[in-house]
Amino acid sequence: MAVASSLALLATACGSGDDGSSSGGGSSAGALEGRGPITLAGGKDTSGNLQNQLNAWNAQHPNEKVELKELPEDADAQRQQMVQNAQNKSDAFSVLNMDVVWTSEFAANQWITQIPEDKVPDLGKLIPATVDTAKYRDKLYGVPITSDGGLLYYRKDLLTKAGIAEAPKTWDEMLADCQKVAALPEAKGMSCYAGQFEKYEGLTVNFSEAVNSAGGVIVDKDGKPNVNTPEALAGLQELTNGFKTGAIPKAAITYKEEESRRAFQEGKLLFLRNWPYVYAKAEATDGSSKVAGKFAVAPLPGKTGPGVSSLGGHDYAISAFAKNKATAIDFINFMASEARQKANIEKTSQAPTWASLYDDPTLTKQFPYLAPLKASILAAQPRPKVVKYGDVTAAIQQAAYDALSGKTQPQQALSDLQTKLQSLITQ
């Protein structure tokens, strides 16, 4: 008994080590050694361009090739596979394409390797908020490869036809615009708005944006839960009322990013909240999008002016259990380089993490969404930065889903969520 508990104590002491230099998967800072083949594990590549990027690396590094291990499309399912892999101390995944919200959990558990900042020469060129997502207790555990900010896609053609000159800035203006457009014959069978409301990470994003845009918070500046407020309630009610009135179609309770993108591309929605990757797909002129040339992009709508996006994006981290970490860090720097990020935005409209690309005159001319995207990312709110993120997001998803599906009254859902978050976030 005594031995067991002192071992447990020792494990806790190691686990909480700030420098990440304790046991675990050999995650000591600076030990980025070994060269040879590596793998990249990440969610299904809906952009269609990732393999091109990897081919560019592989062509230059025949003895250090990277192989893609494609995981499911939904963020929670990706996280689950990565966690499982880490718990098995498997070396099957070398580089992890991590959602920005997972850093604290993976770093605290020593599933990923601390990266000395001097091993990432371009770090200072990246948008600071994106670099923050890759830090845990002021130490770096990943390199931001793509950022993400929520955007309001809207049918400019139909707004213009209804005599509306500008995109709505508030939720109420958006609903009023929908009423005007509904009078047009072209609007038959269309719904006003959708986001992502299936019970998964995207719902945490959409709920957070509704709350933040209405002036509320989920956790306050000191990291304390404070979601049982009139502001948060107003935000949640925009969504619950949307479902009640039909402004949001019933089917949207099953939407993740791709389902909602397809609904917009098929001409079923006047307004869509989604990430920048949708721009390139919806603009495609190969017949896959019915709305190419007909839509534009604006900041998310808020209560009295533009709303607040949730900060999304992906960081590449090195598994603590990986072989060939020297190759892994070189590969990560290659993918983070300005040249690779530029090549990627040109093909996919995914948000770069290089600050300079948002002001590049050729890009801003070619991609009109870059200005609202930059504004969205710079004003975006991070989701709670906590070690128990998996539990926290599950609690948020449950509360939001129950309210949207009419199972729980919004007020009750927020009060239950507050209690749950208080028990999960104790720092």
Give me the DSSP letters along 390-425. Answer: HHHHHHHHHHHHHHHTTSS-HHHHHHHHHHHHHHH-
CB-count burial class (<10 Å; 0-12, 13-18, 19+) for 47:
middle
Q: Which residue among 111, 193, 207, 275 contacts ligand GLC (CB under 6 A)?
A: 275
Question: By CB neighbour count within 10 A (0-12 exposed, 13-18 middle, 19+ buried), where does 41 fall?
Answer: buried
Q: Which one, 275 or 401, has the nearer CB to ligand GLC?
A: 275
Residue with smaller CB distance to ligand GLC, 28 or 80: 80
100 binds ligand GLC (CB under 6 A): yes
Determine the interface stretch with ligand GLC among 112-120, 244-252, 307-315, 362-370 (rule: CB under 6 A): 307-315
Phi, psi of 269, deg, nearest 5? -130, 145
- Helix (H) and strand (E) counts in the chain: 17, 11
99 binds ligand GLC (CB under 6 A): yes
Q: Which is closer to ligand GLC, CB of 242 or CB of 313?
A: 313
Angle at 68 between CA 199 and CA 200, to 5 degrees: 5
Sign of CA dihedral 272, 275, 279, 281: negative
Residue tagged 């990470």 (tokens): 201
Among the listed residues 149, 202, 276, 372, the single contact to ligand GLC using CB under 6 A: 202
Q: Binding segment for ligand GLC among 98-106, 149-157, 172-180, 300-308 (CB under 6 A)?
A: 98-106
Site residue total, ligand GLC (CB under 6 A): 13
CB 225 within 8 A of CB 418: yes
**φ and ψ at residue 319, rounded to 5 degrees:** -60, 140
Stretch that binds ligand GLC, among 134-142, 241-249, 308-316, 410-418 (CB under 6 A): 308-316
Smallest gap from Cβ 71 to ligand GLC, in A, equals 12
**Residue 295 CB, nearest distance to ligand GLC (Å)?**
20
The minimum distance between CB 205 and ligand GLC, in angstroms, equals 5
Task: Spell out, one character per residue from 318 to 357, where the chain touches ligand GLC: x when CB under 6 A holds, - when not.
Answer: ----------------------------------------
Residue 202 Cβ vs ligand GLC, minimum distance, rounded to whole Å: 3
What residue type is 17 in one-letter code? G
148 is a site residue for ligand GLC (CB under 6 A): yes
- Using the rule CB under 6 A, which residue among 82, 162, 175, 205 binds ligand GLC? 205
Q: What's the burial of 342, exposed, middle or buried (CB within 10 Å: 0-12/13-18/19+)?
A: middle
**Which residues sit at the interface with ligand GLC, rule CB under 6 A?**
75, 99-101, 148, 201-202, 205, 257, 275, 312-314
